[in-house]
Amino acid sequence: MDTIMVLKFGGSSVADNRKLELVAKRITKIYDKGNRVVVVLSAQGKTTDKLINEAKELSNNVPSRELDALLSCGEQMSTAKLSILLNYMGYPSISLTGWQAGILTNNNNQNANIIKINTSRILKELNENKIVIITGFQGIDENLDITTLGRGGSDTTAIAIAAALHAKNCYIFSDVDGVYTADPNKIENAKKIENLSYEEMMQLSSEGAKVLHNRCVEIGEKFKIPIITKSTFNEEKGTVISDKIEENKVKSIIKKEVSRVSIIGNGIIRNFDLIKEIIDFIKKKNLELLNFEISETKISIVFKSIIDDENVRELHELIF
């Protein structure tokens, strides 16, 4: 008894009732071995995408506080459903929102960072032998407003909870059974990697392999918690991300779609007000940059991921 196991299941692993049943079986098997079990869940399937689109249908200027209030609902649905199912199966269980689980973040809506976790409620429920199911991807800021951690952020919730509870490992269950030499859904001969260092995985995540959220890997490295990625649907050995370093071994290849936005005009390099306005805009929108270059006639901005046309429209309004 007494080993705390932190298990995270992603959106495709909980997409419908049948998959929730498979997840419940995996969890109860681990619980039955005498472990204390904390589960972190994502929203079901494409719920988060759907909620974002619904907000955009209502407004072309969605307040970021309200967007987080809306997006956090996806994880509340999946965790409540799993808890309903586990209780029905005879396993004591409770779902907790980010706030109930004590997850405090900064107020950077849609890309918030976890500042600390007050584990008292989680520990109280574990001590009552309950399986504790926590909403991934969300927390609460000092004004008690709901925040979200950025797309794919449930991985980060899981590792932060593993660190706060001093768990030995953090298990990330997904639709793939590990990290591969390339995206296995796109490159058919991709091979599974047994071990990756935190540094290698951080490179992979920040270059766009969405198999793990990059802040998850950062926290794993900081607290030296091995991250074990496995499939929800088979028992195959997964990939271990830890501080084990293997020299001279090529690990992976990756392609990423990015957005490049260019603003043209003679002498633009001396238009300091415009340059400042653009930088302020990028900061306000929390857009992550790969590159920012200014020449005599062009400001060229490369964003880390694809930005939507709404951002370009706003930038256009700002400039002209």
Which of Mg ion, ligand ASP, ligand ADP, none does residue 43 bind (CB under 5 to 8 Å by kind)?
ligand ASP
Radius of gyration of the chain (CA): 21
Among 179, 216, 228, 278, binds ligand ADP (CB under 6 A): 179
Asked if residue 136 binds ligand ASP (CB under 6 A), the reply is: yes
Query: Shortest Cβ distance from residue 44 to ligand ASP (Å)?
Result: 9
Asked if residue 98 binds ligand ASP (CB under 6 A), the reply is: no
Asked if residue 43 binds ligand ASP (CB under 6 A), the reply is: yes
Asked if residue 42 binds ligand ASP (CB under 6 A), the reply is: yes
Among 6, 11, 132, 201, binds ligand ASP (CB under 6 A): 11
Query: Shortest Cβ distance from residue 137 to ligand ASP (Å)?
Result: 4
The region of 46-54, 168-176, 194-202, 261-269 touching ligand ADP under the rule CB under 6 A is 168-176
Query: Shortest Cβ distance from residue 216 to ligand ASP (Å)?
Result: 9
CA 18 to chain centre: 24
Locate 149 and state its tokens.
């951690």
Query: Shortest Cβ distance from residue 186 to ligand ASP (Å)?
Result: 19
Which of ligand ASP, Mg ion, ligand ADP, none does residue 139 bind (CB under 5 to 8 Å by kind)?
none
Residues 58-77 that bind ligand ASP (CB under 6 A): 74
Please write down the long-range contacts of 275-280, taking CB distance under 8 Å and 24 or more positions apart: 275/299, 277/318, 277/319, 278/315, 278/318, 278/319
Query: Shortest Cβ distance from residue 48 to ligand ASP (Å)?
Result: 3
Asked if residue 136 binds ligand ADP (CB under 6 A), the reply is: no
Residue 10 near residue 42, CB atoms below 8 Å? yes
Among 137, 171, 173, 198, binds ligand ASP (CB under 6 A): 137
The region of 142-150, 172-180, 220-228, 283-291 touching ligand ADP under the rule CB under 6 A is 172-180
Residue 103 near residue 114, CB atoms below 8 Å? yes
Residue 168 near residue 2, CB atoms below 8 Å? no
Among 93, 154, 169, 239, binds ligand ASP (CB under 6 A): 154
Asked if residue 207 binds ligand ADP (CB under 6 A), the reply is: no
Asked if residue 48 binds ligand ASP (CB under 6 A), the reply is: yes
Residues in contact with ligand ADP by the rule CB under 6 A: 10-13, 42, 152, 174-176, 179-180, 182-185, 209-211, 252
